Every structure is written in C-alpha cells, then in structure tokens.
Chain A
C-alpha cells in the first residue's frame, strides 16, 4: 500500500517583529541572540487571526493545490498548542470551511510542536487501512511566549496542511515510512488556563530536542536501511536555527540538505507548523524523484520521522497555491507595542 501527500498548503501571517525590537525592551543583546538562535525576526498574527483561521487558510491552499472534491475527505485533524477553544474542536471549523462536512470524523491534536505530524500519522493509518479515502492533517499555531522570556524571541504564528491519500496517481509525494520516539520528558508545558508556557531552559536541549530528534531519525534510517546521503533534502523541527543545524550535523546531514527547509530565521518557530513548514518549503522546490528526510519534535516529549519521495505530480500542483517563500515575502514590520496588542499582552481597560 502506497500512502502519501496528495497536496499541501501553508500560511504565515503578514506581520513580523525583529529580534532587535524585543531585545531593546528587555535590555538583551540582540546581536548575541541572533547569533545564538539564528533567528532574525518572527511572524505575528493579525488581531483577528488565531490557530483556527491559520489552519483554515492553510487547508484551503491545500485544497486549491489538490483540486479534489472535499467530500472525499474522511478525517480532519488539527494539531496545535493554541487551539482557540479549550473545549470545542478547531477541526470542525476547518472541516466546515473547506466543505468536507458532514460525512467525516474530526478531532484536535496536541503534542507541543509535533501535533501536526501526529495528525499526519493518524491520517496515514486511517487511509492505509482503507477506513477513509483522504485525510486532512494540519499543524497550526499562534504560539505564546511570556513577556521577557527567552521564548518571546521565537514563538511565532503559522500553519501547514497536508492532504493524505493512497491513490497513486494523485500523490505528489510518497511517504515511505514513519517512525516515532517518545518518552515522558517534562521539558516544556502549559497548565490549564495559564496564558504562557513554562520550560526547562537548557533542559529542553539535550534530554528534550536532541535525544528525541536523533533517536527518531536514527530509528527510521535503521528501519529503512537508508543513510543521510540517500536523501536530497532534510528537515528537522526548527524551534530556532541552531538546533536543527546541530541535529543535522550530528546525524550526518549537510547544510545544503537542510537549507531549503530552514525557514525559522525569517518567521520564527511556528510550533505545530514548524517541521511541516520546512517540508512545505522543500516540496516547493523539490524535483520529481527527490527524497526528503524529516523529523518533527514535540516537547513532552517525542519525535516523528518521515521518509518522503517526491513524484512527478509535484510539478502539476505546486503553482496552484502560494509557496512558502511567496507567503513570507513582503512582511509588515511592527514595534513591540503593536506586537503586544496583537498578542493580547496588553489590553484596553
């Protein structure tokens, strides 16, 4: 059974805030932050945007690329750590807005930054077993960083939708296999009703990100019997520019392999959209036959690795919706005050 990506769509809000703008407020050194994080600016949602609107825009672009009848979609799963409702699914909003309702199932996923790839795996299972024809998996976030916290320099907004199917003539990319590595690791969390997440500082690095990303990636390479040099591109979850670059090097992937998918320097960490944004940016320029290795990471903690081969169909569908580079060009830069208003950090009395 061949399972793969029928179509994909990305969305990034128009607004950006530069690292300098945040650093000058808190008295931090912008240059050392930029060098350390390899992030220069991050996306900021408009006042009327949230994870649901971003998920809808991404899913609509995926539908525009696919050209398929939305009633064929049997499942819509949206992964996010910033669902607008605590109780009431984002996925029903998305499903209604793409015309997939009512003969389908839906649920929301949460696994920090890898909820979107967890949704892809769920869709792969349902599609592969024949339970559904097509599944829409989305990762979308308007992530939160507390004022003055290190996360404020990277917590951004964006989302990516992937339509998963099994009809070979429809696949733009084949997902050869997936592998996950999961442990109970409290590196990052947000309690019910709390506006901002807490994290373990440096603890998020080795025992969180690197342990899970490298084990997940190695597990898949071993399972498939492939090596880093068998792939044309690689994407690793990008909470900043430094982590995926270091993970790639440790695993034996080159800078050239990760370059097309490394979008974090310009838009920040889009959380549930992060790894998928890298996959989308890579699909935007990959050629038929190219192989992509991707590993998503979610705090808490776990990783999902994927081995993907691009098909001839990519050329047909690519230009039916905006590419990631088209989405992120021409940003509107805002100051901290406007950013704080957009994010609800300051409120009208």
Chain B
C-alpha cells in the first residue's frame, strides 16, 4: 500500500483530517498546503483540523477492487466536499443503494489497509452517512 515512513508522515491528515487554512483569503486546504495558492507571499497559513462533515459530490461503485480491498467489494468511493470547502476522495461505508449525490456524510476512524499479515496496519478516515 505504501511505505511505513510515508504513511507515518501523513498520520495527522489521515487520522484527524488535519489540513491548513489561509488567514488572509480564508481558503482551507486538504491535504495541507504550507503556501497559499491565492495569496502567495502575503498569505498566512495556519494548521486547521476539519470538522469531518460534508457532502457527496460524486461517487462510483467499485466491483473490481484494488488489491487488498477484495473482501469489501462492492464498495463506494466518493468525492466528498468538506463543509469548509476542500474536496477529497474517500470510501463511504454503507448500503450502496442508498448512497446519492448531495448525501450528508461524517468522518469515522477505520482500517484503511495493511501490508499483509506481517506488516503494518494503516488506520485513517472514511465516511459514513451523517444520520448513522
């Protein structure tokens, strides 16, 4: 899936949806940017923890899964717009029949994958329908 140090470097954003916010223009960034693309040199970047709520912008149902996700197929991958603005791609847990564009979702803590039976377990954020 990925190397241990690579995963470890992004623990904050994977576990806790930690991103950044520009105090100058107000834009939020996820994954975190340490430089504001709008304000450039006059931007003021601060770290920001996203609330974890948002809505589904688009989604697809995966039947032929990526390696390591076979036992979860069919599963939903969605583009989610967080309430603060940024969009991210994540698995949405729940009945694929009920998932729809515009659906409110909230973040949960799940296993994202593992490096086989001997390797590291990767934890992080997925989403569920907000009313669950």
Given contacts A53-B109, A93-B123, A97-B109, A48 and B72 within 8 Å (CB-CB): yes
Let me know if A53 and B110 touch, CB within 8 A. yes
Given contacts A14-B132, A47-B71, A48-B72, A57 and B93 within 8 Å (CB-CB): no
Cα–Cα distance between A213 and B66 once the two chains are bound (Å):
49
Q: How many of B's residues come within 8 Å of A, CB to CB?
A: 17
Cα–Cα distance between A248 and B11 once the two chains are bound (Å):
46
Cα–Cα distance between A271 and B27 once the two chains are bound (Å):
45
Q: Is A52 an interface residue (CB 8 A)?
A: yes
Let me know if A348 and B109 touch, CB within 8 A. no
Let me know if A96 and B11 touch, CB within 8 A. yes
> Quick one: which of A48, A60, A330 contacts B111, CB cutoff 8 A?
A48
> Quick one: which of B15, B16, B71, B93 contacts A341, CB cutoff 8 A?
B71
Q: Is B46 an interface residue (CB 8 A)?
A: no
Q: Is A84 an interface residue (CB 8 A)?
A: yes
Q: Is B21 an interface residue (CB 8 A)?
A: no
CB-CB under 8 A from A49, the residues of chain B are 110-111
Cα–Cα distance between A46 and B108 once the two chains are bound (Å):
12
Encode contact with B along A311-334: 1 for CB under 8 Å, 0 otherwise. 000000000000000000010000
Chain A residues numbered 1-32 whose CB sits less than 8 Å from any CB in chain B = 14
Given contacts A46-B93, A47-B72, A348-B71, A96 and B15 within 8 Å (CB-CB): yes
Let me know if B121 and A84 touch, CB within 8 A. yes
Chain A residues numbered 27-53 whose CB sits less than 8 Å from any CB in chain B = 46-50, 52-53
Q: Smallest distance from the beta carbon of B124 to chain A beta carbons, Å?
A: 9
Let me know if A56 and B109 touch, CB within 8 A. yes
Closest to B131 in A: A330
Closest to A57 in B: B109
Q: Is A289 an interface residue (CB 8 A)?
A: no
CB-CB under 8 A from A14, the residues of chain B are 132
Chain A residues numbered 80-113 whose CB sits less than 8 Å from any CB in chain B = 84-85, 93, 96-97, 99
CB-CB under 8 A from A93, the residues of chain B are 123
Closest to A84 in B: B121
Encode contact with B along A336-349: 1 for CB under 8 Å, 0 otherwise. 00000100000010
Let me know if B16 and A52 touch, CB within 8 A. no
Instruction: Identify which of B72, B112, B123 gathers the most chain A CB atoms within 10 Å of its CB.
Output: B123
Q: Is B83 an interface residue (CB 8 A)?
A: no
Closest to A98 in B: B16
Cα–Cα distance between A56 and B132 once the two chains are bound (Å):
17
Q: Smallest distance from the beta carbon of A346 to chain B beta carbons, Å?
A: 10
Cα–Cα distance between A341 and B71 once the two chains are bound (Å):
8
Closest to A97 in B: B15
Cα–Cα distance between A99 and B132 once the two chains are bound (Å):
24
Let me know if A60 and B11 touch, CB within 8 A. no
Q: Is B104 an interface residue (CB 8 A)?
A: no
CB-CB under 8 A from B49, the residues of chain A are 99
Closest to B108 in A: A57
Chain A residues numbered 54-96 whose CB sits less than 8 Å from any CB in chain B = 56-57, 60, 84-85, 93, 96
Let me know if B15 and A53 touch, CB within 8 A. no
CB-CB under 8 A from A341, the residues of chain B are 71
CB-CB under 8 A from B111, the residues of chain A are 48-50, 53
CB-CB under 8 A from B123, the residues of chain A are 52-53, 56, 93, 97
Q: Is B115 an interface residue (CB 8 A)?
A: no
Identify the 5 closest CB pairs spanning chains A and B, nearest first: A56-B109, A48-B110, A48-B111, A97-B15, A53-B109
Identify the A interface with B (CB < 8 A). Answer: 14, 46-50, 52-53, 56-57, 60, 84-85, 93, 96-97, 99, 330, 341, 348
List, sorted by A's number, 25 A–B pairs whose CB atoms are closer than 8 Å. A14-B132, A46-B110, A48-B72, A48-B93, A48-B112, A48-B126, A49-B111, A50-B111, A52-B121, A53-B111, A53-B123, A56-B123, A57-B108, A60-B109, A84-B121, A93-B123, A96-B11, A96-B15, A97-B15, A97-B16, A97-B123, A99-B16, A99-B49, A330-B132, A341-B71
